[in-house]
């Protein structure tokens, strides 16, 4: 391997370590706590150095968000490639999303941030990473429809969006209210999720 690629690798690794530092900061204090100074300190770099790797703070957030989306996509792909029935796959997607939220709360937050904030502008790359997820889900719904297990008058694109919206809403509820719901009603997050899945299944199942 030549000098050039080694340097490239070093540069990439430094970039990565900045991203990691940013993750540490946000994992500790929430998305809102991200500041360039804090990242620099965490990464043991000077403030200005950060700007050698990212054009501004927003680019750090955007980069991490794309990473998060791709990771979510990757989790979904495993579901797609499994040999479950098409309907089960749809349900598993929802469950994977929940797992993703549990195992990687920061990434989940990043995905949600851009999902929930219409003042943030998404770059082409960001939009593409989002589209990949949408397309995957669309494919799965199409598959289910062709397998004849889906209510016929469901439009694929339309339902893809609905599924995404509903799931996001349920997970958000669990995330923000999960604790208090458990304390006051003894309802566990997974219970909520199961109910959602049941409604979903009934809602889209072919009527006999």
Partner DNA sequence: AATGAATGAGAGTTCATTCAT
Partner DNA sequence: AATGAATGAACTCTCATTCAT
**Which residues contact a copy of itself by CB under 8 A?**
30, 32, 112, 114-119, 127, 151, 153-155, 157-159, 161-162, 164-177, 180-181, 185, 187, 191-192, 195-196, 198-205, 207
Query: Of 15, 18, 17, which Cα lies nearest the Cα of 34?
Result: 18
Residues whose CB falls within 8 Å of the CB of residue 83, separated by 6 or more in sequence, listed in order: none
Nearer to a copy of itself among residue 85 and residue 195 (C-beta): 195
In this structure, is the dihedral angle defined by the CA atoms of residues 118, 124, 129 and 130, taken in order, positive or negative? positive
Tokens linked to 46: 């000077």
Q: Which does 188 bind (CB under 5 to 8 A by kind): DNA, a copy of itself, none?
A: none
Nearer to DNA among residue 36 and residue 70 (C-beta): 36
Contact 126, 66 (CB under 8 A): yes
* Residue keyed to tokens 């300190």: 41
Q: What size, in residues, is the chain?
A: 208
Q: Is 123 in the site for DNA (CB under 7 A)?
A: no
Nearer to DNA among residue 35 and residue 138 (C-beta): 35
Q: Is 172 in the site for DNA (CB under 7 A)?
A: no
* Binding string, residues 27-66; x marks residues near DNA by CB under 7 A: -------xxxxx-----xxxxxxxxxx--xxx--------
Full DSSP string of 144-172: HHHTT-B-TT--HHHHHHHHHHHHHHHHH
Q: Is 11 in the site for DNA (CB under 7 A)?
A: yes
Which residues bind to DNA, rule: CB under 7 A?
A: 7, 10-11, 14, 34-38, 44-53, 56-58
């Amino acid at each position: 391997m030549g000098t050039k690629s080694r340097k490239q690798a070093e540069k990439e690794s430094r970039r990565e370590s900045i991203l990691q530092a940013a993750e540490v900061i946000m994992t500790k204090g929430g998305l809102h706590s991200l500041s360039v100074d804090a990242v620099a300190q965490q990464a043991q770099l000077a403030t200005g150095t950060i700007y050698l790797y990212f054009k501004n703070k927003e680019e750090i957030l955007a980069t991490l968000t794309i990473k998060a989306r791709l990771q979510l996509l990757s989790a979904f792909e495993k579901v797609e490639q499994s040999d479950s029935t098409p309907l089960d796959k749809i349900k598993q997607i929802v469950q994977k999303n929940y797992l993703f939220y549990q195992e990687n709360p920061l990434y989940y937050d990043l995905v949600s941030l851009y999902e929930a904030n219409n003042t943030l502008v998404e770059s082409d790359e960001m939009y593409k990473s989002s589209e990949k997820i949408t397309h995957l889900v669309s494919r799965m719904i199409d598959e289910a429809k062709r397998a004849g297990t889906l209510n016929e008058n469901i439009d694929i694109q339309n339902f893809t969006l609905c599924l995404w919206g509903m799931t996001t809403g349920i997970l958000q509820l669990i995330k923000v209210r999960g604790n208090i719901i458990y304390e006051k009603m003894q309802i566990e997050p997974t219970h909520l999720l199961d109910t959602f899945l049941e409604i979903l299944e009934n809602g889209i199942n072919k009527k006999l």
